[in-house]
Amino acid sequence: MTLLRRTVHTLAITALAATAGLAAAPAWAQKGETVKIAWIDGMSGPFANIGNNMIRTFQFLSAREANNAAGVKFEIVPFDSKGSPQESLVVLKAALDQGIRYIAQGNSSAIAGALLDAINKHNERNPGKEVVFFNYAAVDPDLTNSKCSFWHFRFDADTSMKMEAMTTFMKDDKSVKKVYLINQNYAHGQQVAKFAKEGLARKRPDVQIVGEDLHPIGQVKDFAPYVAKAKAAGADTVITGNWGNDMSLLIKAAKDAGFSANFYTYYAGAAGTPTVIGNAMEGKVKVVYGSYANLPGDHQKVLADFRKKYNEDYSLSTTYHLFKLLPAAMAKAKSTDPVKVAFAMEGLTVSSFSGDVTMRKSDHQLQQTLYQATWRKKDAKNSFDVEGTGMTWVAERTFEPYVSSTPTTCDMKRPAGGG
């Protein structure tokens, strides 16, 4: 081979190797790469106020976490599910058609179940184009048990975890003697009722369940009949997993009827409901959640900055966990490829506003601290004025992750090539 031919041959091999290297390189771009997340939730319909608060929360936190360990930026692409599983599947297809490979949703476990089923099928049929589902508020335990999936990660505590904390608190609340259950008639509401009865039977067998109602989700305009039944049954306590307008209208009906029972809730702190409670029912409304208004540290700065930017209160703290874990997983994987990121997120622990949180590998359920808080007048120690009511949420009990953690029956099938 002549010198000229050897030189050309060498250059060709070098060029081929460089091209192959680029083709084989992981999806780990230069600093500043933008990762799109399709946000699918209700921006219209009966729970629009919750959905619109949530999309602003996603946009706010994604911008706030722009300087992260992975060096990537996040773009939130909103899709209106209109609160419908069918519409959610339509917009999921639109997101997939745009090549978006991260999906986020939270309002309604029924919608989460429909999305998860569609995502599982998509990933099975489209190797190399897999997408990952971030669930920030759909808390049906089945999603990380019988329906668990490698492609699904939940950042909120599930219904059973919150009820484990709630009933642990109720064990020592001797004012709880007669309980009435009022819940939305879908997976989450049904599970609230189930786990409330099981938890109280274990911890407070002396407590009577004096009534139970499951009502259509997002359709009841007046909860007076439900409150009247609870009042007539002599209930001193109501347990409800209601959220959005269904929570606000239930509280309104209780106020209008002068019903002075304790309300143990999951979502009385969500956007809009504190305004309905107002300065009434002090000490009567309680909430179990992964944060509360006066939690110290970075949470306070997030609350203040969000209010300054949007002139409304921040109420979806689980999204904070997501934007701590996701860039950490990308940095660990040295990739933005969803499959590699999903494997990297399994078992990952990061520091969040409430201490360390861990994405449990066995079922992809985040393990986190929970708080039991009560509606009180604000004071010097608890000074955050919730929705301008002059009231606030005051923590009465902190539950470390191991306290509220519940076991899983998940038998997860993982794709090849991971850890």
Tally of domains within the chain: 2
- For residue 280, the model assigns a pLDDT of 87
| Same-domain check for residues 90 and 239 | no
Question: Which of 320, 339, 367 is the last residue in one of the domains?
Answer: 367
| Same-domain check for residues 245 and 394 | yes
**Averaged pLDDT for residues 198-209:** 97
Judge whether 216 lies within some domain: yes
Neighbours of 12 (CB within 10 A): 10
Residues 6+ apart with CB under 8 A from 239: 166, 179, 180, 181, 182, 192, 193, 196, 264, 265
Cβ atoms of 264 and 166 within 8 Å: the answer is: yes
| Same-domain check for residues 139 and 177 | no
| Same-domain check for residues 242 and 178 | yes
Residues 198 and 175: their CA atoms lie apart, in Å, by: 19
- For residue 31, the model assigns a pLDDT of 65
**Averaged pLDDT for residues 388-413:** 95
Please give the mean pLDDT across all residues of the chain: 91
pLDDT band at 269, cuts 50/70/90?
very high
pLDDT band at 8, cuts 50/70/90?
very low
| Same-domain check for residues 140 and 85 | yes
| Same-domain check for residues 166 and 52 | no
**Averaged pLDDT for residues 201-209:** 97
Judge whether 416 lies within some domain: no
Cβ atoms of 146 and 409 within 8 Å: the answer is: yes
| Same-domain check for residues 340 and 392 | no
Asked whether the predicted pLDDT for residue 41 surpasses 90, the reply is: yes
Helix H or strand E encompassing 295: none
Asked whether the predicted pLDDT for residue 16 surpasses 70, the reply is: no
Window from 23-27, 118-122, 293-297 with minimum mean pLDDT? 23-27
| Same-domain check for residues 232 and 375 | yes
Amino acid residing at 311: N
Judge whether 272 lies within some domain: yes
Judge whether 51 lies within some domain: yes
| Same-domain check for residues 115 and 147 | yes
pLDDT band at 12, cuts 50/70/90?
very low
Judge whether 15 lies within some domain: no
**Averaged pLDDT for residues 288-301:** 94
- For residue 30, the model assigns a pLDDT of 52
Task: Pull the structure tokens for residue 210.
Answer: 């004096």
Residues 183 and 240: their CA atoms lie apart, in Å, by: 5
Q: Find the CATH number of the domain harbouring 340.
A: 3.40.50.2300
| Same-domain check for residues 73 and 130 | yes
Rg (CA), the chain: 24
Judge whether 41 lies within some domain: yes
Amino acid residing at 28: W
Neighbours of 68 (CB within 10 A): 18
Counting residues of the chain whose pLDDT is more than 70, the rounded percentage is: 92
- For residue 7, the model assigns a pLDDT of 39
Global pTM value: 0.90
Domain ranges, residue 226: 160-289+370-404
| Same-domain check for residues 345 and 386 | no
Instruction: Give the strands of the sheet with 208-215, arranged side by side.
Output: 208-215, 178-184, 237-240, 262-265, 285-289, 370-377, 391-399
CA-wise closest residue to 99 among 121, 82, 115, 122: 122
Asked whether the predicted pLDDT for residue 20 surpasses 60, the reply is: no
| Same-domain check for residues 177 and 42 | no
Q: What is the pLDDT of residues 149-158, one digit of tens each?
A: 999 999 999 9
Q: What is the pLDDT of residues 59-95, one digit of tens each?
A: 999 999 988 999 999 999 999 999 999 999 999 999 9
- For residue 23, the model assigns a pLDDT of 38
Q: What is the pLDDT of residues 345-398, one digit of tens each?
A: 999 999 999 999 999 999 999 999 999 999 999 999 999 999 999 999 999 999
**Averaged pLDDT for residues 109-114:** 94
- For residue 252, the model assigns a pLDDT of 97
Judge whether 388 lies within some domain: yes
Judge whether 105 lies within some domain: yes
Cβ atoms of 162 and 193 within 8 Å: the answer is: no
Question: Which of 321, 342, 367 is the last residue in one of the domains?
Answer: 367
